[in-house]
């Protein structure tokens, strides 16, 4: 399995600091256009994709809580959702739900969807 490209890898390839790469990826205006182009070329060449979970942690805003469920019973789901919503509200977080079957492939796919959503 290939290791994901890190922001430090892009910085080294572009000859800039990781903070400069971060500024480019976040469209910060405090980066010279020539530097921006060098960084974007390194991003493209290396296939860098920002980690959504890391970006959410770096932001000071509310986090996201991801829940997997596999029991479609209305009674269970209702109690489950009310408790989860209350808990998320108490900590100022966004709640993301994913239904999955109790199989490894289904669980992996649901976890990947949650991760792509920044959980």
- Pick the closest to residue 119 from 49, 47, 55, 25 (CA basis): 55
Q: What pTM did the predictor assign?
A: 0.50
At a CB cut-off of 8 Å and minimum separation 6, what does 66 contact? 96, 97, 98, 111, 114, 117, 119
Determine whether 78 is exposed, middle or buried from the number of CB atoms within 10 Å of its CB (0-12, 13-18, 19+). Answer: exposed
What are 17's two structure tokens?
């600091």
**pLDDT, tens digit, 9 for 90 and up, residues 83-109:** 889 888 887 788 888 888 878 888 888
Q: What pLDDT is attached to residue 55?
A: 63
Q: Locate the domains of the chain by residue range.
A: 7-50, 57-116
**Rounded to whole angstroms, how far apart are CA atoms 72 and 51?**
31
Q: Which CATH class is domain 7-50?
A: mainly alpha
């Amino acid at each position: 399995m290939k290791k994901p490209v890190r922001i430090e890898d892009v910085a080294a390839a572009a000859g800039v600091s990781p903070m400069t790469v971060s500024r480019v990826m976040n469209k910060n205006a405090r980066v010279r256009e020539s530097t921006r182009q060098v960084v974007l070329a390194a991003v493209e060449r290396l296939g860098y994709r920002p980690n959504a979970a890391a970006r959410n942690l770096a932001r000071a805003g509310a986090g996201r809580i991801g829940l997997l469920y596999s029991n479609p019973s209305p009674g269970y789901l209702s109690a489950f959702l009310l408790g989860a919503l209350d808990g998320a509200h108490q900590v100022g977080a966004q709640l993301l739900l994913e239904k999955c079957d109790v199989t490894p492939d289904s669980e992996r796919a649901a976890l990947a969807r949650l991760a792509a959503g920044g959980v």
